[in-house]
Amino acid sequence: MLKQEGFEHFYDLKSNQNLPPVSPQAMRQQDYGWLEASTIAAEATRENESVAAELTVSVQGLSCMACIWLIERVFAKQGGTQIDVDITRGELCMAWQPGTFQPVEFALELQRFGYLLGVARADAGQATDNNLERRTGVCGAFAMNAMAFSLPAYFGMPADFPFARWFDLVAAASATLALFVGGSYFAQRAWHALRAGVLHIDTPITLGILAAYIGSLIGWVSGAQGLKYFDFVAMFIFLMLGGRLVQQMAVARNRRRLLRDPSIPDAEMLDSLKAGESFVVKPGQAVPVAAKLDDAHASISLEWINGESDSCTRTSGQLVPSGALNAGTRSLNATALESWRDSTLCQLLEARRGSDNRDLRLEKLLRGYLIVVVLAGVIGAFWWWQHTSDWTRAMQVMISVFVVSCPCALGVAAPLADDIAASRAERHGVFVRTLGLWKKLTRLRQVVFDKTGTLTLENPVLINPDALEALDASARQALRHLTSGNLHPVSRSLFDALGGTAESPLNAEVIEEPGHGLHFKEDDGSVWSLSRPQDQSADAIFTRDDQLMASFRFRDALRAESLAQVDALQARGLRVSILSGDREPKVAAIAAQLHLARDQWQHSMTPDQKAAWIANHEPQATLYIGDGANDSLAFDAALCAGSPVTGRSFLEHKADFYFLGHSMRFMSSLLDIAATHRRAVHAVFAFSVTYNIVTVIVGLMGHLSPLWAAILMPLSSVATLSLVALIFRTQSARKASPSEPVMLAWSELPHSS
């Protein structure tokens, strides 16, 4: 497709980087009604006809600059005026002149290349992230100013030099501005933590910043050169902010990588929904509340409720449960039997992961650390004042102790370890969404899986693909048209097996007869159908004018390497269990394939029962992996949780991590990465303790001047960064085969660097 459209330069821009596979969900029929409405609104709100209409939307599938280049070329080819793609927020802002450009056609064209457009996310540009970026950039400028105007004094500039006082003034002003812009970030967090009775890593950072700044002011006013730490204050704040920004970048990027779940109806419609009101559910959306079906027939899927992927039929007047998916090709009409707030789906959606991630051991360690540092500084200052009667020297000793004991190395190296670990995980198709994931993974004693769509593939596997290969181009296009917008497992499996195509979609309407199948009529009168045969010779048949074109057979299948990974997890000493809402025979069959004992799997479980089981079986040492709404409460009960990307589950947006692809191979790799991350952090911590002991002793002896503090701080950061990179690189070298090149850890710095 890229070659046909003249976009081969895409691969030149990719260089030797891996190209993530396009999700089948990106190729399925999408509802762009929201985009059409947004287009009308954007064109109607223009000030005059000469002004271009503008619209900001989310985009899924961005990975690098090559993606931006490709989207810009497609946009220009469609006749747009201006486009701005923001890869960090996962958004694009487009401008166009009405009549020369159609955003819906642009969205359809992008979809052919694997990119999906969606409603702009409310959290795409959270103020905290933007503020942190701005603080870091501004404090970088202040740090450079403070260093530039402090260097002359270090190189022997005499105190009576005409511009000496101006140099001090600029350095002091730069440190003061850095304190208000960047230091306030750490001070506020430390203060909120202390008010909550919690000791945070930002507490010693704040202590060091304030001590160095106050001492510098005293030294500046009194003329004591040995107390001027202005350059240290500005540079330290900049490094700490930079480390914090690196720590959040990968997480923020992965959170914005996915579009809002299209299965959930609009919030405005949900909040106003009351019992007795009629409502419409579009194809692929979930029925929000328990309701009575108003249409004659409807095809629904209960996979979100009980994990069973098979669709079923409802007729007029029958109950449709909350959380059922409209698996048909047409919207269904129903009457609500309850309000949104009383529905099961609302309870599952509003369930939230526990936020108490306090590390009591870290708090105890920080408490002891702060006591030792404060006592050492105060006692050292008192000793020097008693023996020398030089208050300036005493103050310098105390401030130098507070300065060098700041966790500078941890504040920079630990975020780098998080980012390298996240980059390694992405190589295996795993995307981290929470900062505490790596620590949680090292505390596991149990891994619990949902069955359908998690251990097994989302769709049944076509076991006679030769039947597809025997079809000619027109038949394949017709079959693709039949299955592109249908959620029935057979339709989804056939659609995925057909693969991507560059042909334009057909315009004929696909009609579904619930319980019987799908069909559409071409302009020449030919009727294409996909239905269930009357005998048991096949699971589905594809016909044209009642003439058999192909027969298809399917079977449920485990994800690739599921057995190997379950064995590997158990070899690590982890207990593996299955919690499923599916029927006993289906769960037993999968458990038998995985060689699991009878006490390692449960069947026919409700969402509440899953959560209760987790709560009674070491929840603070459990990883839960699931993909449906019926897994939401179990997610909240477990220590950490993961979800496959299906394009129809909100769990991807609340999991600690989500993963792409059809294999479970990533499980062992993820735990290996967590172990390497732990070794790296422990090594950095050991180095920091040793460094602090040595430098505090030197400071107490009175040998640590502002110059040495300014030199040792960046050197310690470089040393810890190198240590983290070496540990990850060494681990890669151990696992790489002789023919497999080892990537340098430095190449795994944040994508925006």
- Both tokens assigned to 313: 């039929």
Instruction: Please check the confidence at residue 566 and state whether its pLDDT lies above 90.
Output: yes
Query: Same domain for 551 and 564?
Result: no
On whether both 363 and 237 belong to a single domain, the answer is yes
Across 121-135, 301-315, 484-498, least confident range: 121-135
Do residue 448 and residue 468 come from a single domain?
no
Question: Distance between CA 582 and CA 452 in Å, rounded?
Answer: 8
Across residues 304-323, what is the average pLDDT? 76
Q: Is residue 423 included in any domain, yes or no? A: no
| 197 vs 108 pLDDT, higher one | 108
**Whether 444 and 592 share a structural domain:** yes
State mean pLDDT over 9-38.
75
Query: So what's the pLDDT on residue 738?
Result: 46
Q: Is residue 240 located within the same domain as residue 381?
A: yes
pLDDT at position 481:
87
Residue 53 CA, distance from chain mean position: 31
Of 696, 709, 712, the closest CA to residue 372 belongs to 696
265 band by pLDDT with thresholds 50, 70 and 90: low
Residues 79 and 139 in one domain: no
pLDDT in tens, 121-163: 665 444 445 678 888 889 999 989 888 887 777 777 776 777 7
147, part of any domain: yes
Lowest mean pLDDT among 121-125, 520-524, 725-729: 121-125
List the domain range (segments joined by +) for residue 524.
461-555
Helices (H) and strands (E) in the chain, counts: 25, 25
- From 108, 125, 142, the end of a domain falls on 125
Pair 115, 134 in one domain: no
| pLDDT for residue 618 | 92
Band the pLDDT of 73: cuts 50, 70, 90.
very high
pTM of the model: 0.73
DSSP 183: I
Which segment of 492-506, 677-691, 722-736 scores lowest on mean pLDDT? 492-506
At residue 400, the 3 state secondary structure works out as: helix
CATH code, domain with 116: 3.30.70.100
426, part of any domain: no
Residue 603 tokens, joined: 């069947």
Pick the most confident of 18-27, 281-290, 589-598, 728-737.
589-598
Q: Name the least confident of 119-123, 442-446, 517-521, 668-672.
A: 119-123
Where does the pLDDT of residue 710 fall: very low under 50, low under 70, confident under 90, or very high at 90 and above? low
Chain centroid offset of residue 186 CA: 25
Torsion-angle region of 282 (φ positive above 0: left; ψ -120 to 50: alpha; else: beta): beta
pLDDT (tens digit, 9 = 90+) per residue, 389-401? 777 778 878 877 7
Residue 259 binned pLDDT confidence (cut-offs 50, 70, 90): low
What per-residue confidence (pLDDT) applies to 752? 34
Residue 616 clears pLDDT 90, i.e. is over it: yes
The single-letter DSSP state of residue 85 is E
Look up the CATH number of the domain holding residue 633.
3.40.50.1000
- What does the block give as tokens for 521? 């009529």
pLDDT (0 to 100) of residue 390: 78
Residue scoring higher pLDDT (517 or 679): 679
The average pLDDT across 302-312 equals 66
Quick one: 22 and 102 in the same domain?
Answer: yes
Q: What is the pLDDT of residue 628?
A: 75
Please tell me whether residues 502 and 518 are part of one structural domain: yes
The per-residue pLDDT for 306 is 62
Q: Residue 261: what pLDDT?
A: 62
Do both 301 and 383 map to the same domain?
A: no
Distance CA 566, CA 563 (A): 5
Q: Is residue 516 part of a domain?
A: yes
Least confident of 263-272, 318-327, 440-449: 263-272
Confidence band, pLDDT 50/70/90 cuts, at residue 20: low
Does a structural domain hold residue 2? Answer: no
Residue at which a domain ends, from 94, 125, 156:
125
Residue at 291 is within a domain: yes
- Residue 707 is predicted with a pLDDT of 67
Average pLDDT of span 100-112: 91
Candidate ranges 105-119, 208-222, 386-400; pick with highest mean pLDDT: 105-119
Mark whether 89 and 112 lie in a shared domain: yes
Angle of helix 391-404 relative to helix 666-700, nearest 10 degrees, comes to 170
Number of structural domains found in the chain: 5
The mean pLDDT value for 614-623 works out to 93
CA atoms within 13 A on the CB side of 402: 30
**Among 619, 639, 664, which residue terminates a domain?**
664
Mean pLDDT taken over the chain: 81
CA dist., res. 212 & res. 383, Å (int): 20
User: DSSP assignment of 215-267, as one string?
Assistant: HHHHHHHHT-GGG--HHHHHHHHHHHHHHHHHHHHHHHHHHTSSPPPTTSPPH
- Percent of the chain scored above 70 by pLDDT? 85
Cα atoms in the Cβ-side hemisphere of radius 13 Å centred on 601: 26
Q: Tell whether 208 is covered by a domain.
A: yes
What does each C-alpha distance from 606 to 204, 514, 603, 618, 626 come to in angstroms? Answer: 47, 27, 9, 19, 14
The DSSP line for 432-456 is E--TTHHHHHTT-SEEEE-IIIIIB
186, part of any domain? yes
